[in-house]
Structure 1
Amino acid sequence: MKKAYLSIAFAFFTFLSFAQTEVEAIGKTIETYLNGSSYSDMEQIQEAFYEEAPLYLSKKDQELWVLTPKEYAELFKNRKSGEHNGRFGKILNIDISNNIAMAKAEIRIPARDMVFIDLFLLKKLSGEWKIISKVATLLPNEKS
């Protein structure tokens, strides 16, 4: 009986260790995107995404704005790479199911009084987590 409990406990802790490692790997991918967009690093932004991933964004006077990772990264080309541009991102949660995951992040731009929520779909491809889709929304101004 004691052996059975030890086997179950070992399996449980092995699973927890694996899950924690995957959460860390997904977090690293999202942080790569967040850091790239906060420091206008076009290469780092693209690194987080699957090359053909669609990004569904909002734009003034346009209900849906769809970009590729390369097109999105190019939005930062006129900013100085490596210098903080006023965007502050943080991961809010991560949910994993085998080789797919969902993540949610908040991006604040205090100077422009803006808060975005980004939702990401990720897939483990060739042993590496990549963002395969992103959707973003601008939250209503809290002062209004």
Structure 2
Amino acid sequence: MKTYFWITLFLISCNITIAQSEDDNIRSSINKYLEGTSYNKPETIKEAFYDEANLFLTHKEKKLWIVPIQEYASWFEKREQGKFNGRTGKILSVDRENDIAMAKAEILIEGKDVRYIDVFLLKKIDGVWKIISKAATTKK
């Protein structure tokens, strides 16, 4: 009976460690996006995303503004690389099921009274968590 208890306890702890590791890898991918957009690092932004990912953004003149990741990352090429641009982001939640995940982040910009909420869909592709889609909205 003691052996069964110890084996069960070991297996449970292994599962917890693996789950934490997966969540850490998801957070790492989202943090690449947050760092890249806060410090004008287009390559770091692209590293977080699947190459063919689209972003679904808010635009005052469009119902739905779809921007490919390559175009989105290029917006940060025009700014001073590595310099903080006033964007501060934090991950609010992560929900994972097998090889897919959903995450939510908040973005605040210095000097603006606006709160952006980003929702990400991620997929584990070739052992790496990649953002396959992002939708964003603003709250004033």
State if a TM-score over 0.5 links the two structures: yes
* 1:130 shift after superposition: 0.3
Shift of 1:77: 2.4
Q: Which runs of 5+ in 2 are unaligned?
A: none
TM-score of the two chains, using structure 2 as the length reference: 0.96
Considering only aligned residues, what root-mean-square deviation do their CA atoms show, in Å? 0.9
| Runs of 4+ displaced beyond 2 Å | none
CA distance in 1, matches of 2:52, 2:122: 13
The count of residues paired between Structure 1 and Structure 2 equals 140
Query: Residue 3 of structure 2 aligns with which residue?
Result: 3
Question: Could you list the runs of 5+ residues in structure 1 that have no partner in the other structure?
Answer: none
Distance in 2 of aligned mates of 1:107 and 1:81: 19
Q: Given residue 25 of structure 2, which amino acid in structure 1 is its aligned partner?
A: A
Identity over the aligned pairs, expressed in percent?
48
The aligned counterpart of 1:87 is 87
1:109 aligns with 2:109: yes
Deviates further, 80-89 or 108-117: 108-117
For residues 30-79 of structure 1, what are the alpha-carbon distances to aligned partners after superposition, in whole Å with 9 as ceiling and x for unaligned? 00000000011111111100011111000121121101111111222221
Structure with greater strand share of residues: 2
Q: Which residue of 2 aligns with 1:99?
A: 99
Q: Secondary structure at the match of 1:81?
A: coil
SS at match of 1:14: helix
